[in-house]
Structure 1
Amino acid sequence: MQTTPNETSPTSPVPQANPHSNSSIANAAPGQLRVIKRNGTLVPYTDDKIAVAMTKAFLAVEGGTAAASSRIHETVANLTQQISATFKRRMPSGGTIHIEEIQDQVELTLMRTGEHKVARDYVLYRAERAKLRAEKEKLSQANVDFPEINVLQPDGSLQPLDVMRLHTVVSEACAGLKDVDGEAILKEAMRNLYEGVSAEDLNTSLVISARTLVEKEPNYTYATARLLMDKLRAEALAFLDVATQATSAEMEMFYPNALPAYISRGIELELLDPALADFDLQLLGAALIPERDQQFTYLGLQTLYDRYFLHSDGTRFELPQIFFMRVAMGLAMREDDKNGRAIEFYRLLSSFDYMSSTPTLFNAGTLRPQLSSCYLTSVPDDLHGIYGAIQDNAMLSKWAGGLGNDWTPVRALGSYIKGTNGKSQGVVPFLKVANDTAVAVNQGGKRKGAVCAYLESWHLDIEEFLELRKNTGDDRRRTHDMNTANWVPDLFMKRVFEDKEWTLFTPSTVPDLHDLFGLAFEERYEHYEREAAAGNIKPFKKVRAVDLWRKMLGMLFETGHPWITFKDACNLRSPQQHAGVVHSSNLCTEITLNTKANEEIAVCNLGSINLAQHVVDGKLDQEKLQRSVDTAVRMLDNVIDINYYSVDTARNSNLRHRPVGLGIMGFQDALYKMRIPYSSAAAVEFADRSMEAVSYYAISASSALASERGSYSTFEGSLWSQGVLPIDSIQLLAKNRGEQFIEQDQTTTLDWDTLRNTVKTQGMRNSNVMAIAPTATIANITGVSQSIEPTYQNLYVKSNLSGEFTVVNPYLVHDLKDRGLWDSVMVNDLKYYEGSVFKIDRIPDDLKLLYATAFEVEPRWIVDAASRRQKWIDQAQSLNLYISGANGKKLDITYRMAWYRGLKTTYYLRALAATTTEKSTIDTGSLNAVSSGAPAANISAGPADVPKACSLDDPDCEACQ
């Protein structure tokens, strides 16, 4: 239950013209009923607040489906009429009623009419509000010295500092948070106030006062976010002409009215799709859950405010619950029961159980709903095609798409050009143009353009390609802003293992290698090697496979690029082998979809299940997970039809194959909740079982959608149609690669035989269903660890486009508090040891193991867990590898193991050498930040440096989510 009828806070002034404001008692008509509020003031009795309160209660219990919505409307109308009739019978000539009497009558009426579940919810809510009032009263008696000053209001007037409102705002911010002291926040904030301070600076003082306490108690991040919400409410509600300001409690009344005002204003400003006005805005407004504003961390809320909320001339007029409802409405626009589905989608998003990707959050419900995350293209070997592909990059980047380009078809340096009787400059100069295009077209001004170029390891330009990110050499043949990745065939890895030679070709003389994989590639490649040896193919070059492999790893260590991705695992396990070839992955190496130059640009639509939210009482809640996955897959499938396509070849591909990528985040948080160290067999097993469940439910959900909406058009001939699921495709990889070159667990625990038969007979709505993206930003929003990453540091400063934020591991802090070990000395120790607990003697060994940081987790655990996930996924996963004490041998072993364990791709290498970074400055309290720039040295040297973790602390890094 989310509201209290006929009650608002007396401390928040609202315009008298507003129909929802507290009218003066002088305006009450003779004989009219009046309400005595808890503070003794009188307001006219109205039944609309009762109706809203009960509607919220019913929605909370019964949901928002079409059938439920119809019953709720009728039931609430009847019950409201009964309640009002009761008071009018008692006082036909008018009179006064206490607010508690009204609430008692609501509760009694619900019980008498058999609505026991709703009544119970209402009782619990009243108890929570009583507790909040008690906390507010306690804070109001705090020993705080409030200055006698005037505050500058937005309209330019000066008003005395509203002490009561300050008490209310701070007490609401601290409500329900353990070890958070509102008095400490107020005392610190009052020191910074002065005569004529602006209302905005007053809020800033509160926010800063709370923020400085985060490193001592992680719960202050929630208090800080709630204080920030006061500023957000004032800004948005004033813009929408709903109120000048509001406390958290008052949003029970204002949110339902703010939604239609927001939709109207957004359409007027040409920011929102006019079709949003066709929803039942009264029902959707009542479905908003204001208390979910309280679950944000400071980083999460600030990120939303700075980068996601719609604005006009810099004024944000979205609020969190309206934001989530806007996204939900945008995704439900074409549903038969669009109101019911919008409520369903809203609840999933606002609960943080699942989060759509950044492009979807940016653009859902707007006039340009570019909702997809990733685009994969193949660049043809002709000048018109090359610049056409670069133009496609620009158009896709403009609308916030991340790009993966397959450049393998472009002929190598020195190749013959028949049309001009000249020689080619190779692929590198064109990559420079693609790099500069990504910089110039910066995703609509919201974030940097992002593109990754892929090249197969047999391309004659591969050695120069490896050096693209070096800071030395001819800058005209460098790409300092673009990501790069190796597209490595299995045959190359076999030659590395067997220490054999490898031959480099130009694709203009061996064009079919680009479209071949597995045994077919091996046979054809070896044929070309024989032809080259006989002098029938020129140019070519022979190198020692191990030498090229070492150069790959050396450049990866030195520059962070190119990433290592595996062509054959991506193709042999692709469900869509009959429809085309996977020529590359995407910007973040988790998407593996087929592309064809000039015909198909692959598109993927992403979203992630918050795994931590599905661990209940130390176990994975399978029923809740299934519900979340069912709704999430439906939302992702809707993206395909609603999406704005700036390039026709992307539209054609997406509508034809309908791929989506459901992933996970909060894996590390889930382990903490279950008390499982990342470096353990139990963590590997949890990675296996949790991904198996997600895979099972996602495939089931897509198949159910196929029954409802029809299968995707290229279903026949796919692995799905043959009853070959992702877990089964491991055998295809092993058969082609050779059993001696793969070791991947294939155990199962769920009823996969039944699902195989269901998929074969019922079909699939989506060609691909799963992919684990980095979730760099949406994990910030939901306040959990990103993707499948281990904890970076237990205490550090995170920098992004929203500023700098102290990040402290709340699980560690609360464990240390329980054992009486959390104090200022411990805070300083964590700073000194860069967030590591290993060298702090007084921390028990079991906590050291549980809270090991990323560089303290052996890479084998990361690879093994990833291998267990990969067996269930029809696409891939963005897998960062962390290697402490990095040297050539460690890198060689780790990446060979990644291939041997059946991984499809890897992402960033985070290499920490033998000596560590400079320590933090303890006296000033500043925490260490990771150094910018990747280490630059020979791979065998093991230099002292720490690489910037792109998705963790790089302000410019924008992964797929």
Structure 2
Amino acid sequence: MLPAKLDALSPAVKTMFTRCMGAASRFRDPNFKQYFERITNSDFNRFAALDEATRSAQEPDFLKEQEKNFEILDRQSNINNLWFVFWFESRVNSWAASFNFGMTSSEVDEGGPQEEGDAFLLYRLLGVERDSTIGEIRKGYLLRARQVHPDKNLDDPRAHESFVKLQRAYSILSDPEQRKRYDDSGGDLTIFEDESDEFREAYQYYRKLYPVLTSEDIDAFAARYRHSEEEMEDLRGFVEEHKGDVSDLLEWIILSTPEDVSRFADYIRTWLSSEKKDLLPAFESSLPKLRRNGKRLAAQSKREAKKAKSPEEDPSLGNLALAIRQKQQKRQGDFLDDLEKNWFGAPSCLTPFPSPKMVMYVIKRNGQKADVQFDKITKRIRPLTKGLNQDYVDVTQITQKVAEGIYPGVTTTELDSLAAETCAYMSQVHPDFSTLAARIAVSNLHKNTEESFSKTVSELYQITDSRGRHAPLVSEEVYNIVTANAEKLDKAIDYERDFDYDYFGFKTLERSYLLKRPSDKSCIERPQHMIMRVAVGIHGEDVDAAIETYDLMSTRVFTHATPTLFNSGTPHPQMSSCFLLSMKEDSIEGIYDTLKQCAMISKTAGGIGVAITGIRATESYIRGTNGFSNGIVPMLRVFNDTARYVDQGGGKRKGSFAVYLEPWHADVFEFLDLKKNHGKEEQRARDLFYALWIPDLFMKRVMSNGDWTLFCPNEAPGLQDTYGDEFEALYEKYEKDGIGRKTVKAQALWFKILESQQETGIPYMLYKDSANRKSNQKNLGTIRCSNLCCEIVEYTSPDEVAVCNLASIALNMFVDKETRTYDFDRLHRVTKVVTRNLNRGLADAFLLMRFPYESPEALKLNNDIFETIYHAACEASMELAKKDGPYETFQGSPASEGLLQFDLWDVIPDSGRWDWGTLKGQIKEYGMRNSLLVAPMPTASTAQILGNNEAFEPYTQNIYVRRVLAGEFVQVNRHLVDDLMELGLWNDEIKDKIIRQKGS
């Protein structure tokens, strides 16, 4: 807003304004006049003062400090454009001034009296030796800067000159290449004079191309604009955009003054009465506020003008000098505290001078060039902040940071990525920044992808490889189903749900889960497309069931496991998560057949648990070759390399194998060392996970500090195929027969296990006898191992691979935040849906209910939740068996006898919430479709997608960094932030304390 009486402005202010307008026009922005909306008289005075300060300081960080002090960016988006123009012009002046001197010996006097021809003056200027490190040079620069900085020497007319020389010295000595040139020349400063000439010529060329406009140009523009049709058009546009609210009209209409209020009001009232009567009430109600704002702005301008001409100041100083002097005095007291922060970096003379021909432009998604318009960044981001905490999420600040990363030719997609990454980095300030980062990234994805699900599936089906061969990414069956039901499926999708992910979750989806074009690895799918693809892949022709699954998954009530998300609906729909194997046999053929099985499973994203207890120990006789075995270690190194090579889903995540061994195996000590970071490399296989399948007898021997005998399975057959009393009898028989390889103290092995756990976090420890006694599959035979993550216990044999499909329910989604109650009935319904599909977020639920993790209330809620899940899963499995028949080996299982999991643990459900008696009777009559139903799995990846803490684990840190294949992401416990904000305690100090305490 330029005051009506331009002549009332000081010449310096007027010059500054003309410079800004001239630069704006040179950026060829057709809307450049909008750059000056919301600019007040006081703003121009501040700009002018800042311009002078920039000439004095010549340092980028000084601009940032002035920007903070003047608070010129606490306005709407258009201020950024004027700020950039001003900054660019000021930097031109600064660069030119920085190279407008040649630091010869006659000019340097701060280092002490100099002799003519004295060399290496720059070191003396900084007070350091020639062999000083870069750290010592920085220290010397800071020390001298405190002494000669203009803010510390207000009355010294040479302070600015001295400080510029100090900057020049530091710029040379802190740059390894320039320092070497300086040293090699014997300390001759004249070698840099040519560079000074080049910059001076570049500046002169710049001014020749772009002459500064005069104040007369502004006068002419103002005369044309005021009372013109263009001004009236701007008024109408503002009123329509703000739906009749004119409270901030003077802040937006260019060249307006408080005296214009009555004129504007008369025109707007007349126009609305004839064309926009519905906006009249809002206009009339906001008009008093507009008048008050006008009076406030007028009074503010008078106060600042009076302050700038205070008679207490030196009458010889002009308005601009007065403003600078006042600002210097205000900052002087804080100088020592702020100096290192603001002046530690390299001075502005290190910044390359921009090419005179450089024009800032962006490449749009259609490939066309467009001039940079910084207000568009703000307009792009602001709508995405709906519902976020506006006290913390500052769009102007984000826009400023994004503007700093712009370069000629940057694409709009890259700008979106930069904005998203900027917000993600700021998520430690408030978790809403992570949400905003995700929204920007999602919006960018939406702009680059097809909206229609059916068209997306069609593209996925038509994909060809690099040789032009048909290589569809979805199966023909899914393609036909979607084509036949295109309208219904397209209508069911709600793309707004994509914006509910946080940044970590979205980037996880983008990195590994969304299907991409093979040619350029760009995403074809949106998150909602992926979820519907998965649902259709599971339910096939049952479109209604697919839509039901889609609705629950897209609202993040539950999610299927990673292999299902990877592969459902594709030509290779391997949707199982867990595979449990036993070695086919103790032979080369058996070992490599098992290895091939592991590779094929890993190829399609399966996690593997393999029991190797049956492989003979080191130095065991090999009858077929008359040789001796090398034991399990060389074999496991081959498995290790296979896990590294055959990653899951073709590079989507690393292959993972867990290897199970019983502690009586003769190679158990070597087994415990395999993951350690020290020792012989040929004895290590660090990419596998290791687990012990422990019989109760071993723990009894540990308790009594008894002896423990190690055997080779080839010499002591049957031990891995028995458990409980049968195992103990056979083990003790072999001990008496004296066929053991070695006898050690049980506690010695126990402490070796603990040592390995302390160093590497493994082995996992599972208890063989309990796992077998309490399994619904114990009628099939002895269970030999668990899976990769130890939540699944299933029977496996050389000719049978155990498989498990997983889905995880987000338990926090059933908490009513207002009443802090838990909806068990809805949980029951959702669990039945999940169970049918297959034929967690617990810590977040506790936090929402305000229950400490180990409190009695949390323990009871945990019991009630899992009872509800188990009852619903059993009921759904029974209903499926009633329709399709029970699983093949149901007869003889504990469930067929009316014994469910809690019966095997001698626990009686006491909540009274569910009718277990009736359900048991139905199970005995109809059977169950699934032998196993409930397992609290780790959910490392899917928890990231849902935005929950992993599995049922408590929060271990409140602020931390997660490093995954998708990148590094700052994670903040948003429940803690919400509580601290409610108490008025969330601020930078608290945040920094949490970080210093490593998230505690």
Band of TM-score, shorter chain: 0.5 to 0.7
**Cα separation, 2, equivalents of 1:568 and 1:388:** 29
Task: Return the structure number with greater relative CO, CA threshold 8 A, min gap 6.
Answer: 1
- Mark the CA change 1:417 to 1:39 in structure 2 (over 3 Å): closer, same or farther: farther
* 1:378 partnered with 2:585: no
Structure 1 residue 299, shift from structure 2 partner: 0.5
What is the correspondence of 1:599-748 to structure 2 with a 5 Å cutoff? 599-616=799-816, 617-637=819-839, 665-731=840-906
What is the correspondence of 1:166-565 to structure 2 with a 5 Å cutoff? 166=377, 169-179=380-390, 180-237=393-450, 254-255=451-452, 258-259=455-456, 261-262=458-459, 265=462, 269-279=471-481, 280-312=485-517, 313=519, 314-333=521-540, 335=541, 338-379=542-583, 380-443=585-648, 444-532=650-738, 538-565=739-766
Is this contact kept in 2: 1:236–1:317, CA < 8 A?
yes
- Mark the CA change 1:487 to 1:746 in structure 2 (over 3 Å): closer, same or farther: farther
Structure 1 residue 474, shift from structure 2 partner: 3.3
The amino acid of 2:687's aligned partner reads D
**Cα separation, 2, equivalents of 1:821 and 1:754:** 52
**Cα separation, 2, equivalents of 1:330 and 1:285:** 16
Provide the secondary structure at the position in 2 that maps to 1:589: coil
Structure 1 residue 417, shift from structure 2 partner: 2.7
The amino acid of 2:796's aligned partner reads T
1:779-800 CA deviation, whole Å, 9 max, x = no partner? 0001000101111210112111
Is this contact kept in 2: 1:293–1:320, CA < 8 A?
yes
Aligned partner of 1:763 among 920, 923, 927: 927
Highest CA radius of gyration, 1 or 2?
Answer: 2
Provide the secondary structure at the position in 2 that maps to 1:714: coil
- Mark the CA change 1:700 to 1:164 in structure 2 (over 3 Å): closer, same or farther: farther
**Cα separation, 1, equivalents of 2:773 and 2:472:** 47
1:501-541 CA deviation, whole Å, 9 max, x = no partner? 22221111222111111222122222222222xxxxx3432
- Mark the CA change 1:689 to 1:716 in structure 2 (over 3 Å): closer, same or farther: same
- Mark the CA change 1:160 to 1:218 in structure 2 (over 3 Å): closer, same or farther: same
Larger fraction in helix: 2
Structure 1 residue 187, shift from structure 2 partner: 3.9
Is this contact kept in 2: 1:260–1:281, CA < 8 A?
no
Provide the secondary structure at the position in 2 that maps to 1:316: coil
- Mark the CA change 1:215 to 1:745 in structure 2 (over 3 Å): closer, same or farther: farther
- Mark the CA change 1:257 to 1:184 in structure 2 (over 3 Å): closer, same or farther: farther
**Cα separation, 2, equivalents of 1:724 and 1:777:** 34
Number of aligned positions between the proteins: 636
What is the correspondence of 1:16-35 to structure 2 with a 5 Å cutoff? none
The amino acid of 1:182's aligned partner reads V
**Cα separation, 2, equivalents of 1:153 and 1:291:** 24
**Cα separation, 1, equivalents of 2:763 and 2:426:** 41
What is the correspondence of 1:837-852 to structure 2 with a 5 Å cutoff? none
* 1:590 equivalent in structure 2: 791
**Cα separation, 2, equivalents of 1:38 and 1:263:** 45
- Mark the CA change 1:804 to 1:723 in structure 2 (over 3 Å): closer, same or farther: same
The amino acid of 1:677's aligned partner reads P
- Mark the CA change 1:258 to 1:422 in structure 2 (over 3 Å): closer, same or farther: closer
1:405-441 CA deviation, whole Å, 9 max, x = no partner? 1001111223233333443222222112211221222
- Mark the CA change 1:455 to 1:808 in structure 2 (over 3 Å): closer, same or farther: same
Provide the secondary structure at the position in 2 that maps to 1:727: helix
- Mark the CA change 1:269 to 1:504 in structure 2 (over 3 Å): closer, same or farther: closer
- Mark the CA change 1:257 to 1:281 in structure 2 (over 3 Å): closer, same or farther: closer
**TM-score under structure 2 length normalisation:** 0.61
What is the correspondence of 1:58-73 to structure 2 with a 5 Å cutoff? none
Provide the secondary structure at the position in 2 that maps to 1:804: strand
* 2:995 equivalent in structure 1: 831
Question: Once the two structures are aligned, what percentage of the paired residues are identical?
Answer: 38
- Mark the CA change 1:261 to 1:233 in structure 2 (over 3 Å): closer, same or farther: farther
**TM-score under structure 1 length normalisation:** 0.63
Is this contact kept in 1: 2:461–2:475, CA < 8 A?
no
**Cα separation, 2, equivalents of 1:282 and 1:164:** 39
**Cα separation, 2, equivalents of 1:421 and 1:791:** 56
**Cα separation, 1, equivalents of 2:401 and 2:698:** 63
Is this contact kept in 1: 2:693–2:768, CA < 8 A?
yes
The amino acid of 1:686's aligned partner reads L
**Cα separation, 2, equivalents of 1:585 and 1:816:** 42
Is this contact kept in 2: 1:266–1:272, CA < 8 A?
no
**Cα separation, 2, equivalents of 1:257 and 1:561:** 47
Is this contact kept in 2: 1:795–1:830, CA < 8 A?
yes
* 1:799 equivalent in structure 2: 963
Is this contact kept in 1: 2:461–2:473, CA < 8 A?
no
What is the correspondence of 1:97-116 to structure 2 with a 5 Å cutoff? none
Structure 1 residue 261, shift from structure 2 partner: 4.8
**Cα separation, 1, equivalents of 2:239 and 2:377:** 16
Structure 1 residue 468, shift from structure 2 partner: 1.4
The amino acid of 2:676's aligned partner reads K
* 1:857 equivalent in structure 2: none
Is this contact kept in 2: 1:501–1:544, CA < 8 A?
yes
Is this contact kept in 2: 1:455–1:486, CA < 8 A?
yes
* 1:569 partnered with 2:795: no
**Cα separation, 2, equivalents of 1:588 and 1:354:** 20
1:769-817 CA deviation, whole Å, 9 max, x = no partner? 1112111011000100010111121011211111111111111111111
* 1:151 equivalent in structure 2: 362
**Cα separation, 1, equivalents of 2:375 and 2:534:** 36
The amino acid of 2:727's aligned partner reads F
**Cα separation, 2, equivalents of 1:833 and 1:575:** 46
**Cα separation, 1, equivalents of 2:714 and 2:911:** 45
Is this contact kept in 1: 2:824–2:865, CA < 8 A?
no
Q: Quote the RMSD (CA, aligned, Å).
A: 2.8
* 1:47 equivalent in structure 2: none
Provide the secondary structure at the position in 2 that maps to 1:579: coil
**Cα separation, 2, equivalents of 1:725 and 1:213:** 49
Is this contact kept in 1: 2:653–2:965, CA < 8 A?
no
**Cα separation, 2, equivalents of 1:784 and 1:467:** 34
Structure 1 residue 230, shift from structure 2 partner: 2.0
**Cα separation, 1, equivalents of 2:681 and 2:453:** 57
1:360-416 CA deviation, whole Å, 9 max, x = no partner? 111111111121111111112222111111111111111111111100111122323
* 2:947 equivalent in structure 1: 783
Is this contact kept in 2: 1:174–1:181, CA < 8 A?
no
Q: Provide structure 2 residue ranges, at least 5 long, that are not aligned to the other structure.
A: 1-236, 242-274, 279-357, 465-469
- Mark the CA change 1:155 to 1:483 in structure 2 (over 3 Å): closer, same or farther: same
